[in-house]
Each structure stands twice: as structure tokens, then as C-alpha cells.
Copies of this chain bind each other. A is one copy, B any other.
Amino acid sequence: MSGVASLRVRYCECDPMNVVHHASYIPWLEIGRTELLRTSGISYAQLEKEGVFLVIVKLEAKYRRPALYDDVVEVRTRVKTGEAGAPKSRVKIEHEYEIVVTERGGQKVEIVAVIASTTLACVDKEGRPRALPEWLMVG
């Protein structure tokens, strides 16, 4: 399962070095996995209403080339699967991401800005671990 979310870099996401601040990329990962979820027919907002909360337990990011103000970037997200296409866990879900600048100054480009991965755990409203819904686990 993979998906692409597209967004334009905001001025307030950039810092005095004239590049996207490294912390500003992190919410984009969330957008990436949320939009991926939406393509499978459900919104994370609905998920929460049903008592399923996904909390992040691990984050890794490698910063390759900076994204700049007004760039268009794509967040390319996929669910990491184990052997035979099956996710590796019933309580955790791992995503891998590439954040790629695809437009700069009106020109099409392909610049990998950030490579990242996250691990989410599934909890109920009280924060106790619970199994992922079956349908979320289709690799």
C-alpha cells in the first residue's frame, strides 16, 4: 500500500537559513500517512471516533537536501510489510517515506529532501495497546 500527498512549502515553515526548518518536515509525514489511509477509504478522524488511536513510538529522519520556500513537495508513503506482503505486527504499523521536491521556481525537479520512517502503535481511548483493525493491515 503506497500513496502520494502533495503540498506547497509555507513561509512560516522556513528558517533563517532560507530552508525548511528540520522540524517542519515532521507534520508532513503525518499528512503522508493520513492521505494513504484515506485512499483505503477511511479518514483518521473517523478512526478516532471509533476509538482507534494511532500514536507514534519511533521516528527516524535522514535529511539529504533542503526544501525551500514555495517548493512543491510530494510525500511518498508506503506501509512497510514483512514476508509475503504481510505487515509484521498486529499492534504496530511501520511507514517509510520519501519527501521529494517536485517543483521549484516553476520548474519540474526531482530532489529527495528527506528519507524517513515511523512506527505507530495502536491504542484505545485510555491509551492501552489494542490490536490494529483487520482492514488496516492489508499490506
- Report which A residues bind B (CB closer than 8 A): 10-12, 14-18, 21-24, 26-27, 30-31, 34, 43-46, 48, 53, 55-63, 66, 68-70, 105-106
Given contacts A10-B27, A11-B30, A23-B27, contact A16 B63 (CB under 8 A): no
How far is it, in angstroms, between the C-alpha of A23 and the C-alpha of B31 when the chains are bound? Answer: 12
A56 with B45: CB separation less than 8 A: no
Q: Quick check: A55 and B63 within 8 Å, CB to CB?
A: yes
Cβ of A27 and Cβ of B44 under 8 Å apart? no
A55 to B45, CA, bound (A): 23
Cross-chain contact A55 with B17 (CB below 8 angstroms) = yes
Q: Tell me which residues across on chain B come within 8 A of A23, comparing CB atoms.
A: 12, 23, 26-27, 30
Most buried by B among A22, A46, A60: A22
Measured between beta carbons, the chain B residues less than 8 angstroms from A45 are: 68-70, 105
Q: Is the CB of A56 within 8 A of B22?
A: yes
Kindly provide the distance from the CB of A27 to the nearest chain B CB, expressed in whole angstroms: 5
Min CB distance A79 to B, Å, is 19
Q: Which residue of chain B is the closest to A45 with respect to CB atoms?
A: B70
* Least CB separation from A106: chain B residue: B43
A10 to chain B: closest residue by CB: B27
- Report the bound CA distance from A12 to B31 in whole Å: 10
